[in-house]
Amino acid sequence: MSPYEAVIGLEIHAELKTRSKMFCACDASFGGEPNSRTCPVCLGLPGVLPVLNRRAVELATRLALALHCEIAPYSIFHRKNYFYPDMPKNFQISQYDLPLGVGGYLDLELDGEGFRVGITRVHLEEDTGKTVHVSESGRIHASEYSLEDFNRAGVPLLEIVTEPDIRTPGQARAFMQELKSIMEHLEVSDCRMEEGSLRCDANVSLRPVGSTQLGVKTEVKNMNSFRALQRALAYEIERQEGVLESGGEVSQETRHWDADANVTTPLRSKEYAYDYRYFPEPDLVPLELDRAFVASVEAALPELPAQRRRRLRELYGLPAHDAVVLTSSKAMGDFYEAAVAAGADPKAVSNWMMGELSAYLNARGVEIGEVPVSPSQLAGMIRLVERGTISGKIAKSVFEEMLRSGRDAEDIVAERGLTQISDEGELEAMVEKVVEENPAVVEDFRKGKEKAVSFLVGQVMRKSGGRANPQVVNELLMRRLRGED
């Protein structure tokens, strides 16, 4: 057991799902030809002024409420000043000392243990453009020149800062997963980490177990997946422990997670030692949210993952673990409920999704939305099993084929002749043959070795190409073997 306890706080950025950008009417969606989704405002041309996107405020309020934050009746925007070519104005409009939401929390569970993570603040800011360094390595050093794409510049961002309440990499991951699921359920963000619409940095420090003082922290950046987050934090905790154990001191710095090398490396101090010279943005008026607005956003809040978990457990009698997996994303929950609505047994749907379907998602590294099988197709397959049309074993191979081709289970079963054989006449012939071919086993049975019958059932199943109804075969075999007594 380590003598140290990790103290972790997260800083998350999520792109808001608005149609237009934060301060202009440009298309805010991901992609597009470089610089095709720009205008004088988001290019920071001389003379332009920002106008705040009402929808962005609404979405930010929605998330802040879901995280139990207090909504500030009066908040303002600041300018964060620093030079970087992906920032058209060389300042970013952001919230600073008067953010939109403060003082929230999120209750979570990991391995049956509950924990609470405090939410320090939720605020609005604008995203920057994207720099592409043109060189062999794609990195800035030794690059010949750099190109700027401002399509992302001005897309509204939410920043969520947590209290340092997280103690393990697993908790950090659980928090991020739940936060992502919440944002999906609220429809405030697409939360695509690989597209950068959800990003996360972490502050990590260690302290002796039992201490209430905070140790020196490092900030870890560039964690582009849940897996990266967990591994980077595990590495950083181990690294700091090593430093402390050898009598050294952790130095306060920003570190970059290198997913290929599995290490964090310090950034040169030059790259982050900015004085941002924050001051109130004079081109915007204060954001004053009246109670009626906040109340209307609150009243319109959709069901959140925690509520959905409770409902799934109560309505379908699902175990807690199933409910957690099935609400790990909104799409997962929607898939589940659609399959159940299509008439399949709730527990069977859960089993298939937790088993074969999850295995497929993990193996391919895809999201449920990219699966070629629809919820009603899964329900159709489960109904075939329930009706006895196919066996559970056959069902697995049918489902594999469905995942490959996206075809209906009925079609695959019909085409391949996979229907279960329950007809006694047809099966009796096979039973007879197996009995004849295995006199020694039959002898064993007769001597009282009851278990020998399962071998014979297996032989019949093999002969039928897996299609025989095992229960019927079992009955026939017992009758045949006992009948001879």
Partner 1 sequence: MDELYALKAWKLRELLERREVSAVEVLESVLGRVARVEGEVRSYITLTEEEARSAAVSADAARAKGEEAGAAAGIPMAVKDVLCTRGVRTTCGSRMLEDYVPVYDATVVQRLRLQGLTMVGKANMDEFAMGSSTENSAFFPTRNPWDLGKVPGGSSGGSAAAVAAGEAVWALGSDTGGSIRQPASFCGLVGLKPTYGLVSRYGLVAFASSLDQVGPITRDVRDCATLLSLLAGHDPLDSTSLPGEAPDYLSALEGGVRGLRVGVPRELMQEGLTPGVREAVEGSLRLLEELGAEVSEASLPNLDYALSAYYILAPAEASSNLARFDGVRYGLRVEGAEDMLEMYGRTRACGFGAEVKRRIMLGTYALSAGYYEAYYGQAQKVRTLIVADFEKAFSRFDVLVSPTSPTPAFGLGEKVEDPLSMYLSDVCTIPVNLAGIPAISVPCGLEGGLPVGLQIMGRVLEEAVLLRTARALEEALDFRASPDPVRGEGK
Q: Between 51 and 429, name the residue whose CB sits nearer to partner 1.
A: 51
Nearer CB in complex with partner 1: 83/362: 83
Q: Which tokens is 245 given? A: 């154990």
Is 277 or 479 the residue whose CB approaches partner 1 more closely? Answer: 277
Cβ-based nearer residue to partner 1, 88 or 305: 88
| Contact (CB, 8 A) for 140 and 256 | no
| Residue 84 or 341 having the CB closest to partner 1 | 84
C-beta closer to partner 1: residue 276 or 360: 276
Residues sharing a CB contact under 8 Å with residue 198, sequence separation 6 or more, in sequence order: 12, 13, 14, 15, 180, 183, 189, 190, 191, 192
As measured in angstroms, the least distance from the Cβ of 371 to partner 1 is 43
Please give the single-letter amino acid code of residue 394.
I
Which of 137, 213 has the CB closer to partner 1? Answer: 137
Nearer to partner 1, 46 or 425 (CB): 46
- Least CB distance to partner 1 at residue 145 (A): 10
Least Å distance, CB 170 to partner 1, is 37
Q: Considering the complex, what minimum distance in angstroms separates the CB of residue 93 from partner 1?
A: 11
Q: Which is nearer to partner 1, 154 or 215 (CB)?
A: 154
Residue closer to partner 1 by CB (options 146, 454) is 146
Nearer CB in complex with partner 1: 6/56: 56
The residue written with tokens 């175990």 in the block is 319
Nearer to partner 1, 284 or 294 (CB): 284
Residue 228 C-beta: closest distance to partner 1, Å: 28
Query: Rounded to the nearest whole angstrom, what is the least distance from the CB of residue 383 to partner 1 in the complex?
Result: 56
C-beta of 272: minimal distance to partner 1 in Å?
A: 14
CB of 20 to partner 1, least distance (A): 14
Positions in the binding site for partner 1 (CB under 8 A): 40, 43-52, 79, 81, 83, 85, 88-91, 146, 148, 275, 277-279, 282-285
Comparing CB distances to partner 1, the nearer of 51 and 214 is 51
Shortest Å, Cβ 196 to partner 1: 21
Looking up tokens 């952001």 gives: 94
Query: Please, what sign has the CA dihedral across residues 230, 232, 237, 242?
Result: positive
Q: Measured in Å, how far apart are the chain's first and last C-alpha atoms?
A: 65
As measured in angstroms, the least distance from the Cβ of 115 to partner 1 is 35
CB of 219 to partner 1, least distance (A): 18
Question: Shortest distance, CB of residue 410 to partner 1, whole angstroms?
Answer: 57
Residue 71: CB minimum distance to partner 1, A = 21
Task: Annotate the chain with three-state secondary structure.
Answer: CCCEEEEEEEEEEEECCCCECCCCCCECCCCCCCCCCCCCCCCCCCCCCCCCCHHHHHHHHHHHHHCCCEECCEECEEEEECCCCCCCCCEEEEECCCCCEEEEEEEEEECCEEEEEEEEEEEEEECCCEEEEECCCCCCCCCCEEEEECCCCCCEEEEEEECCCECCHHHHHHHHHHHHHHHHHHCCCCCCCCCCCEEEEEEEEEEECCCCCCCCCEEEEEECCHHHHHHHHHHHHHHHHHHHHCCCCCCCEEEEEECCCCEEEECCHHHCCCCCCCEECCCCCCEECCHHHHHHHHHCCCCCHHHHHHHHHHHHCCCHHHHHHHCCCHHHHHHHHHHHHCCCCHHHHHHHHHHHHHHHHHHHCCCHHHCCCCHHHHHHHHHHHHHCCCCHHHHHHHHHHHHHHCCCHHHHHHHHCCCCECCHHHHHHHHHHHHHHCHHHHHHHHCCCCCHHHHHHHHHHHHCCCCECHHHHHHHHHHHHHHCC
Closest by Cα among 370, 366, 368, 359 to 331: 368
Give the angle subtended at the CA of 404 by the CAs of 379 and 358, to the nearest 5°: 60
Spatial distance between the Cα atoms of 127 and 144, rounded to a whole number of angstroms: 26
